[in-house]
Structures are given as C-alpha cells and as structure tokens.
Amino acid sequence: MTLRPRTTKRAALLCGRPLGPRLLCAVLAIAAAPPTDASPASQGSDARPRLVVTSDIGGDPDDIQSLVRLLVYANEFEIEGLVASASGTPNELSSKVTRPDLIHQAINAYEQVLPRLRLHDVRFPEADDLRRRVVSGNPERGWGAIGESKHTAGSQLLVEALLRFDAGPLNVAIWGGQTDLAQALWDVKHQHGDAALRQCLSRLRVHDIQDQDGIFEQLASRYDFSCYVLSKSAKGRDNRESAFRGMYLGGDESLTSRDWLSRHVIADHGPLGALYPTKTWTAPNPHAAMKEGDTPSWFYFLPSGLHDPDHPDWGGWGGRFFESSPGVWRNAPGPAATQTVSRWRPYFQAEFAARMDWCVTDPDQANHPPRVQINGDAALRPLLVHGRPGGPVKLDASGSSDPDAGPLEFRWWIDVEAGGEATITPTGNKNEVVSVDPLHDGAPKDVHVILEVVDSGSPTLTSLRRVVVNFD
C-alpha cells in the first residue's frame, strides 16, 4: 500500500510552509527484543546538552510547575545553573526580590525521590550537585540594571558558563527576564574583549519566553546571536498567540486539568509531585490548573530525536519558529503558533506521567520510552539521509526496541511544514521498514519523515524521530 499526503488549503505559512499538519501514517504491532542496558531510560551515548535556566520564580506558580517537570528530566541535561532572577512579572509583586529558596525547596523534594529515580537512570544528578548551581540574579530588571559593577551571582555564573570554550554549546532557557544574561554579555565584552564575546555568541543558544524584561530589541541590536528564539506573539497581536501558550491552550485541554494532575503527578507520587501547584492563571483554558508556560523553553533543548535546536523551523515540543533576522527566530504570526506546541501535548504529558511514576515505582513496574533506531542509528537527534534525485530511500527501524520488552507500533508520516511532499510505502509485512519517494523533482529537496514508535505500556509512550531525506 502506498500512502499519499492529503491535500489541504494552505491558509497560513511558516517560513513559507503550511501550518496545518498532514499526516501519513501506517501502523503495525510487533514484538520487541528485551533490552540489555541496566538503565531502562538511557538512550544512546550522545553528550547531554548544557543548560542554564533563569526563572522569575516567586510570582506565578507555574515556574514551580516547570521546575518539578525539569527535575524529573534532570538526567537528560547537564544542568549548569538555576538562576533565581527578579521574581514575578514586572509590577506583579510589591517588592523587588529573588527567591532561590523556592528552587532549593524543589531540590529538597527531588532528593527524597532520587534513589528511586536512579533505579531508572543512573544519570540523575545528586541533589547537592544541583544545589551548588542555584544562585540569585538581579532583583532589578531592564536595561538600566545592566552595566559596570552591576554583576550578580547569576550573571557571573553565566559568564563562567559562556567562557567554557572546551564544552559544547550553552543553552539558556529564560523563564523570566533576560537582565542577568544581558549583564553576562556586557561583562564578557568589557572584561574579556570583542573576540571572546564573538566566540561566546557563536556557541550560545537562547530560548526566551515573552521578553519579560522588555530588552529583547536592545539585545538583538547589540549582539550577533547565532540562535536566539523569542517565543512571543507578534506586535499588535493577541498575547495568547505566543507559541509557549500551546503548553496549556488549544488541543486536548483535559490533559491540563486538576483531575489529570492529581492522578498522574500529585497523589501518591512522592514529595516532588506533592509540591506541584494545582492553581494557576490559564484563561481561556477553563481548568486553571496546569500552565507551565516556561516549559517549552527547555523542551526546545531536550534531546528527543524530533527536534534540532539549530533548526528552529523544523519544530518540536518547544515549538516552531521563523527567522526574522540573521540568528533571531520568532513566532509565526497568528494563532497557529500555539499549535506548534499543543499538538505534542498527548506525547509530552504521557511521558511526564511515566517519569512521575518513576519517583515511586521500581523499573520492572514502570513504563519507559521505546528506543528508536533507524538505519542502525539510535542517536537522540534527527537523522540526515542522502538519496538519489527522484528516490526512493529505504528507512529501516527494525532495530528499535522496548526497554520493557513489550510490542511496538510504527507510524510514519511526512512533516510538510518543514520540507517537501513524499509518499511512504511499507516494504514487506512489517511496517518498521518503509520506502520514501519524493512527489516532486523540484524544490524543496529535503523531505522530513517523522517516525512514531508507540509502546503498549501504561501510560502509553511514544518516541519520535525525525529523518531529513535530501534528494539532491
């Protein structure tokens, strides 16, 4: 059977590509070989991404929500800094403070479930390692708070991380304001020179939620960023159109309800789950429970096989963006931006539920994501494949496995928002091997194939892998 893409009207564009998803799916359940790795959640051997978070924790409780989720993903990152920046949104609080104590509170809860988490993956860091990375930033905000002798422990941590030229790219997730990052860049320039600044910028990736301190334009005009993503609605548009709001707006909003949180995160999930706030501001979402507006900022850097942070236009759990100027990426205009996050909610909520189970459950009684292997490659990054003009290209996922030794389903589809159109043809009786043929010989030459590998556990988990096939 050959699967062809459905045709839909191209009403909205992102980077010149349509925004409505058009899926090419095929499903088959097969038995998976049991794993041999003693750490069920580990996939591949790639170096984990370096991550610094700046959080305005102490205002909207959704920062604590995002922090709880981040801690059960702490095995996937090298967390180099947790910076408590100016608490709350501008003018939200009566005093100018930072709240590192709230970060420590979450780490204390994490410490209590850490022995169980480490049964699932030994890479979960020690609580003391995280504590050493908690610092305060500037309780003041904005361009007037930046300059000589205005450094903070938070900005100094960022300077030290930026100057680690022997390490990989530095990923900065800005949950609150950018003041501490701006101070760090100021200090690098004035204390280490322009050459050091250029080197730092070439290795810096930023995902900024909402331009909260209102200094994005100054940053973008002063510094040549290699990758700065601003998740904010376009000027003059509804604020709810920001991509990050797809974390809780649109799609199946029942997955953000207090009932869902109680069953999968809070009740009987240990002290870390008990810390998760159950009331936030989510209108027009009626549940007023899960918001986590900051989570897409670190989702963007999460190694998953679906997304490449150097290609914001490809899309993933953290959203999809277009390049507004060299090195600067922004929301697509209009409400479709939120859909680039909300479409993935069933996947990331199921995995959150599974990881919260790890806090209180032994590995043989919990579920773990499938391990995806395509053409012998099991890395947690998109796979690049070169084909002949006109194709076809063979993709073989038969090496994929379930850490829990259950059956798997394989679903393949073409992401036409990111590339060209193609047909997918299963070869043989098992859908883990397919042939991909481009529909057109003309541009674009790249076809983006998405593979979903779905297990049969509870909750049902789906691992995703993007394959970029070049038919040039």
End-to-end CA distance of the chain: 26
Q: Which CATH number fits domain 13-37+369-470: 3.20.20.70, 2.60.120.620, 2.60.40.10, 3.40.50.300?
A: 2.60.40.10
Over residues 32-85, the pLDDT tens digits come to 433 334 456 655 446 899 999 999 999 999 999 999 999 999 999 999 999 999
Over residues 435-466, the pLDDT tens digits come to 999 987 665 679 999 999 999 999 999 999 99
pTM: 0.90
Confidence of residue 134 (pLDDT cuts 50, 70, 90): very high
Over residues 357-372, the pLDDT tens digits come to 999 999 999 999 999 9
- The answer to whether the beta carbons of residues 324 and 313 sit under 8 Å apart is no
Asked if residue 31 has pLDDT above 90, the reply is no
Q: Which regions of the chain carry the CATH code 2.60.40.10?
A: 13-37+369-470
Q: Which regions of the chain carry the CATH code 3.90.245.10?
A: 50-358
- Regarding predicted confidence, which is higher, 146 or 1? 146
Classified by CATH at the fold level, domain 50-358 comes out as Inosine-uridine Nucleoside N-ribohydrolase; Chain A (3.90.245)
Q: pLDDT at position 238, please? A: 87
Residue % of the chain over a pLDDT of 90: 81
Q: Nearest 5 degrees, angle CA 73-CA 78-CA 79?
A: 75
Only one residue has tokens 């050091």, namely 196
Burial of 437 (0-12, 13-18, 19+ CB in 10 A): middle
